[in-house]
Amino acid sequence: MKNKKSQPIHTPSIDFQVNGGRKLHGTIQTNFSKNGSVGLLCASLINKGVTTLHGIARIEEVYRVIEILESIGAKVEWKGKNTVVIAPPKQFNLKNINTDSAVKTRSVVMLIGPMIHFLQSFAIPHPQGCSLGKRTIAAHTYALEKLGVKIKTITSNYEIKAPKLKPAEIVMYESGDTACENVLTASALIPGKTIISFASANYMVQEICFFLETLGVKIDGIGTSTLTVHGIKEINKDIEYWNSEDPIESMMFISACIVTDSRLAVTRCPIDFLALELEKLKRMNLKYKILKKYYSYNGRTKLADIEIFPSKLTALPDKIHSNPYPGINIDNLPFFVPIAIRAKGQTMIHDWVYEDRALYFTELNRLGAKVTLADPHRVYINGGTKLRGAQVVCPPALRPSMVILVSMLAAEGTSILRNVYMINRGYEEIAKRLNSIGADIKILK
């Protein structure tokens, strides 16, 4: 079942040439969730049956995860554009894990939750992913220890042992998304009741909860900070499940529309995970309209079509910062940076979670922005400046790289964005899709 399309297709030297200053127009549809895709692929491993996942994003991050799954024995096949079929092996073998792919994505740590049910001891490489300062797996380790898992950090690997598993009451060390997903897949196959307090209620965690319920695992408290997992002994079902849409991509299109002073309809937006972002934008004088509301294909995630209108924005008097859901999403926060550049007045953006990400926002000064770094977490933005074309190299982080591309859409003249692999990690055919609504982006190889 191995399919060549799941092999690496990236070309690290790919650049974008952006002819900016053009209005966007028409309608753009939100794609399926990046984080939902990788979480579901990992979670599918707890099922001894065949799992068919619809709505899997064709992005570099997903390709890396599929390469990892194939290397440990799973059979993975693309069926059509966004459907993946996963058949687990009779026996997983992590000694053959694709190290090159594993170190490129932090998603590899989400193998721990499923694998503890099939292997009493194994190792996974230290992942990299985005370069966003010091990022430990302490939240994973402390929570999984409560279930009977032992994790030891050595030079290049995490060594995991799971001699005897048991349900537990867990207080999450921090409200991390991947940590919570790991605990969910771990506790799903531990008979009994596991209670997870200070759990993330973010969209990708809810997605895993919905998926586990499809597999027959009862979960109380979905969408809240306390989850109760009623674990079962075994899962062996042939099932189909739909991944829902990506609120971070919806926010990216909203940001692109605002900075280009355009009128644009963005459809299939996960509205519960954009509500506070839209409220903040409303207070900045953004004009928009909710056209209709409905559910995603999973029948659980609420969607909306949103039309954005040209608006004269003013800066908020208060800082803009992220929080665990239902706060502003940590990955939506960077898209307020180009919006603040357009708004009249000064905006302070506080990116309190990541040590290095705020530093990357200053790259927009190359385009003529006035972004001042106050400390590793805070920037001040003096809005109302005109952006101009420039040449910028993508920073080693997904959202800051995309923020630069969004800003280039508004910059008069021609810009070059170098080495866009980081963008392709999380956004499918993004140049083509932006061009479909009026942008002018050429792919340079």
Two tokens at 430?
């993004």
Check pLDDT > 90 for residue 240.
yes
Average pLDDT over residues 31-41: 98
Residue range 310-352, pLDDT digits in tens: 999 999 999 999 999 999 999 999 999 999 999 999 999 999 9
Residue range 257-286, pLDDT digits in tens: 999 999 999 999 999 999 999 999 999 999
The one-letter amino acid code at 38 reads V
Check pLDDT > 80 for residue 130.
no
pLDDT band at 12 (very low <50, low <70, confident <90, very high): low
Check pLDDT > 60 for residue 170.
yes
pLDDT band at 9 (very low <50, low <70, confident <90, very high): very low
Check pLDDT > 60 for residue 3.
no
Chain centroid to Cα 115, Å, comes to 22
Measured CA to CA in angstroms, residue 337 lies from 64, 111, 255, 319 at distances of 29, 34, 9, 12
pLDDT at 4 (0 to 100): 37
Please name every residue paired with 442 in a beta bridge, in sequence order, or none if there are none: 17
Task: Pinpoint the alpha helices (H) of 24-111.
Answer: 34-43, 60-71, 99-102
pLDDT at 355 (0 to 100): 81
Averaged pLDDT of the chain: 94
pLDDT at 8 (0 to 100): 42
pLDDT band at 354 (very low <50, low <70, confident <90, very high): confident
Check pLDDT > 80 for residue 298.
yes
Average pLDDT over residues 431-440: 98
Check pLDDT > 50 for residue 6.
no
Domains of the chain with bracketed CATH: 4-31+245-444 (3.65.10.10), 34-242 (3.65.10.10)
Two tokens at 153?
């950090």
pLDDT at 7 (0 to 100): 43
Average pLDDT over residues 289-308: 98
- Which residue has tokens 């900016």? 20
Q: Using CA of residue 78, residue 217, residue 181, residue 49, what is the dihedral sign?
A: negative
Check pLDDT > 90 for residue 135.
no
**By percentage, how much of the chain surpasses pLDDT 90?**
92
pLDDT band at 106 (very low <50, low <70, confident <90, very high): confident
Is the CB of residue 77 less than 8 Å from the CB of residue 46? Answer: no
Check pLDDT > 50 for residue 5.
no
What lies within 8 Å, CB to CB, of 323 at 6+ separation is: none
The one-letter amino acid code at 86 reads I
pLDDT at 20 (0 to 100): 98
Check pLDDT > 70 for residue 134.
no
pLDDT band at 117 (very low <50, low <70, confident <90, very high): very high
CA distance 257 to 287: 12
CA distance 32 to 427: 10
Is the CB of residue 65 less than 8 Å from the CB of residue 107? Answer: yes
The model carries a pTM of 0.95
Is the CB of residue 203 less than 8 Å from the CB of residue 14? Answer: no
